[in-house]
Amino acid sequence: MNDLHRFIVESHQFFFGLLALSFCFSVVLDLNKIKTGIGVNKRIIYTSIIGIIGVGLCFNFYESWQGEGGWFAVQFGLLCAMSLVAPKYAASFFLFILLTRPWETFENDLMQTMPKDIFYLCVLSLAAHKLAKNQLYLRFNWGTVFLLAFAMWCFFSGFISSHQIEAMVKFKDIFLKGVILFLLLQNCFERKEDLLPAKLSLVFAILDLGTISFYSTYINSQQTLLSEGVQRLETVGILGNSNDIAAILVLSLPFCFFLFQSLKPRILSTIASLGLCAPIIYLIWNTQSRGALLALFIGVGGYFFTKVKSKKAILFALLLSVGMAFGSFSLLNRNQQDLEGSSSNRMIYWKAGLNMGIRNPVLGVGFWGFNRNLPNYAIGGNLGSEGEHMTAHSSWVQVISENGIVGFSFYLGLWLFAIKRSWTQRFKNPEYFVALVGYGVASSFLSHAYLLYPYILTALSIGFSYLQEGKSIEQTEAELTGELAWNR
Q: What DSSP assignment string belongs to 429-452?
A: -THHHHHHHHHHHHGGGS--TTSS
Closest CA to 436 of 261, 291, 250: 250
Given a cut of 70, is residue 222 above it in pLDDT?
A: no
Q: Is 2 buried (19+), middle (13-18) or exposed (0-12) by CB count in 10 A?
A: exposed
On whether residue 59 sits in a domain, the answer given is: yes
pLDDT at 134: 86
On whether residue 369 sits in a domain, the answer given is: no
Closest CA to 140 of 454, 436, 472: 472
Beta bridge partners of 225: 231
For residue range 339-391, list pLDDT tens digits in order: 888 889 899 999 999 999 999 999 999 999 999 999 999 998 888 777 655 78
- Using CA atoms, how far residue 300 sits from 11, 28, 153, 311, 317, in Å, is 30, 35, 34, 17, 9
In this structure, are residues 435 and 462 in contact, taking their beta carbons and an 8 Å threshold? no
Q: Which range (4-8, 317-321, 468-472) has the least confidence?
A: 468-472
Given a cut of 70, is residue 70 above it in pLDDT?
A: yes
On whether residue 485 sits in a domain, the answer given is: no
Q: Is 393 left (phi over 0), alpha (psi -120 to 50) or beta?
A: left
- Mean pLDDT over 216-242 rounds to 61
Given a cut of 80, is residue 449 above it in pLDDT?
A: yes
In this structure, are residues 392 and 350 in contact, taking their beta carbons and an 8 Å threshold? yes
**57, amino acid identity:** L
For residue range 287-311, list pLDDT tens digits in order: 899 999 999 999 999 898 888 777 7
CA gap 299, 438 in Å, rounded: 4
pLDDT at 480: 56
Q: Which range (93-97, 98-102, 135-139) has the least confidence?
A: 135-139
Q: Backbone phi, then psi, for 180, in 5-degree steps?
A: -60, -45
pLDDT at 486: 42
pLDDT at 184: 96
Longest CA pairwise span in the chain (Å):
75
CA gap 299, 246 in Å, rounded: 14
CA gap 286, 279 in Å, rounded: 11
For residue range 137-181, list pLDDT tens digits in order: 888 899 999 999 999 999 999 999 999 999 999 999 999 999 999
Given a cut of 50, is residue 224 above it in pLDDT?
A: no
Given a cut of 60, is residue 485 above it in pLDDT?
A: no
- Mean pLDDT over 244-260 rounds to 92
Closest CA to 382 of 339, 344, 354, 356: 344
- Mean pLDDT over 447-463 rounds to 96
pLDDT at 237: 66
Domain assignment of residue 87, given as a range = 1-136
| Chain CA centroid to CA 396, Å | 17
pLDDT at 90: 96
Given a cut of 60, is residue 20 above it in pLDDT?
A: yes
- Mean pLDDT over 257-274 rounds to 84
On whether residue 388 sits in a domain, the answer given is: no
Cβ partners under 8 Å of residue 87, min gap 6? 122, 125, 126, 129, 187, 188, 189
On whether residue 210 sits in a domain, the answer given is: no
DSSP string, 69-109: THHHHHHHHHHHHHHTT-HHHHHHHHHHHHHH-GGGTS--H
Given a cut of 60, is residue 73 above it in pLDDT?
A: yes
In this structure, are residues 350 and 395 in contact, taking their beta carbons and an 8 Å threshold? no
Q: Which range (110-124, 316-330, 439-453) has the least confidence?
A: 316-330
Given a cut of 80, is residue 236 above it in pLDDT?
A: no
Given a cut of 90, is residue 451 above it in pLDDT?
A: yes
Given a cut of 50, is residue 199 above it in pLDDT?
A: yes
On whether residue 452 sits in a domain, the answer given is: no
> Using 50, 70 and 90 to split pLDDT, how confident is the model at 487?
very low
Given a cut of 70, is residue 439 above it in pLDDT?
A: yes
> Using 50, 70 and 90 to split pLDDT, how confident is the model at 454?
very high
Query: What is the total count of domains within the chain?
Result: 1
> Using 50, 70 and 90 to split pLDDT, how confident is the model at 219?
low
Given a cut of 70, is residue 214 above it in pLDDT?
A: yes
The mean of the pLDDT values for the chain is: 87
In this structure, are residues 139 and 122 in contact, taking their beta carbons and an 8 Å threshold? no
On whether residue 56 sits in a domain, the answer given is: yes
pLDDT at 317: 78
On whether residue 75 sits in a domain, the answer given is: yes
pLDDT at 299: 93
Per the model's pLDDT, the better-predicted residue between 443 and 140 turns out to be: 443
- Using CA atoms, how far residue 123 sits from 88, 155, 183, 352, in Å, is 11, 23, 11, 41
In this structure, are residues 86 and 50 in contact, taking their beta carbons and an 8 Å threshold? no
Given a cut of 70, is residue 33 above it in pLDDT?
A: no
Given a cut of 70, is residue 52 above it in pLDDT?
A: yes
pLDDT at 247: 93
> Using 50, 70 and 90 to split pLDDT, how confident is the model at 6?
confident
In this structure, are residues 253 and 299 in contact, taking their beta carbons and an 8 Å threshold? yes
